[in-house]
Amino acid sequence: MCDFSNETLDPNQEWFVDSPFVKKFVAHVRERMKAQPDRSKLVDELRPAFTELMNAKDWLPEEYASPDETSGMGGGIGQYALYRAADGSLTLFSLVIPPGSSTPVHDHLAWGLIGLYQGTQREQVYRVADGDPDSGRAHLELSKDVHVDTGEFFPLLPPKDDIHRVTTTSEEASISIHLLGNDTGCVVRHRFEPETSRVKAFRSGYSNLPCDEDDAAD
């Protein structure tokens, strides 16, 4: 077991899950973020703690494990903030994708870890072969097309493997847990159309809270 004994309470943190286990996990992550500036090494150091989080099955509330027909992701996909730092440096959230639904092709623009908590998925990972996403056009090439099982997880270290589309392949909704080094739902990211090479500004939002007015402005 990882040592989560040095938990400290910080008024500049927002909690949406009342779980001592999750709070200790986040405290551990924040401690390691301060001690390890190399994000590649940090992600490796966080693997044991993230494995424990993925294996524990009693901390995610049902309301954050259900689809959302009104979400900014479309397709009934629910994105629920579980924790976020007030300075935007860290967020933990669940992403619920109904059977047969797919996310748009999108990026994250942050280091992190993404793991499958429930169900199975197909993940298609892309790379920019030509163009610049910020210009509104980018030609993508498919670099990976893999099956993901419950309990599996992978790191994000942009630009490597940061652009993907995920489809639920199980009969039940898939639930992935994201630990990312930004306020993912409220930052402006990129939504890609591989068939046309078009790229649009994209803000997924959260199903359980609005973004701040300043963040929500285009």
| One-character DSSP codes across 38-59 | -HHHHHHHHHHHHHHHHH--SS
Quickly count: other Cβ atoms within 10 Å of residue 115's Cβ. Answer: 20
- Give the residue from 155, 131, 127 showing the smallest Cα distance to 142: 127
- Please determine, for residue 102, whether its predicted confidence score (pLDDT) is greater than 80: yes
Residue 1 maps to a domain: no
Residue 43 maps to a domain: no
Give the pLDDT confidence score for residue 70 in this predicted structure: 83
- 104-137: pLDDT as tens digits: 999 999 999 999 999 999 999 999 999 999 999 9
Distance CA 76, CA 173 (A): 10
Give the pLDDT confidence score for residue 214 in this predicted structure: 52
Residue 200 maps to a domain: yes
Q: What is the mean pLDDT of the chain?
A: 92
Residue 50 maps to a domain: no
- Please determine, for residue 5, whether its predicted confidence score (pLDDT) is greater than 70: no
Total length of the chain: 218
Residue 120 maps to a domain: yes
Distance CA 147, CA 201 (A): 28
- CATH classification at residue 204: 2.60.120.10
Residue-number span of the structural domain to which 195 is assigned? 62-216
Confidence at 216, pLDDT banded by 50, 70, 90: very low
Confidence at 75, pLDDT banded by 50, 70, 90: confident
Residue 51 maps to a domain: no
78-85 sheet: strands from edge to edge: 13-15, 78-85, 91-97, 174-180, 112-118, 153-156
- Extract the tokens encoding 74: 């479309």
- 42-52: pLDDT as tens digits: 999 999 999 99
Confidence at 213, pLDDT banded by 50, 70, 90: low
- Please determine, for residue 194, whether its predicted confidence score (pLDDT) is greater than 50: yes
- Please determine, for residue 193, whether its predicted confidence score (pLDDT) is greater than 90: yes
**How many domains is the chain partitioned into structurally?**
1
Confidence at 72, pLDDT banded by 50, 70, 90: confident
- 15-71: pLDDT as tens digits: 999 999 999 999 999 999 999 999 999 999 999 999 999 999 889 999 999 999 887
Residue 74 maps to a domain: yes
Give the pLDDT confidence score for residue 10 in this predicted structure: 63
- Please determine, for residue 11, whether its predicted confidence score (pLDDT) is greater than 80: no
- Please determine, for residue 206, whether its predicted confidence score (pLDDT) is greater than 90: yes
Residue 187 maps to a domain: yes
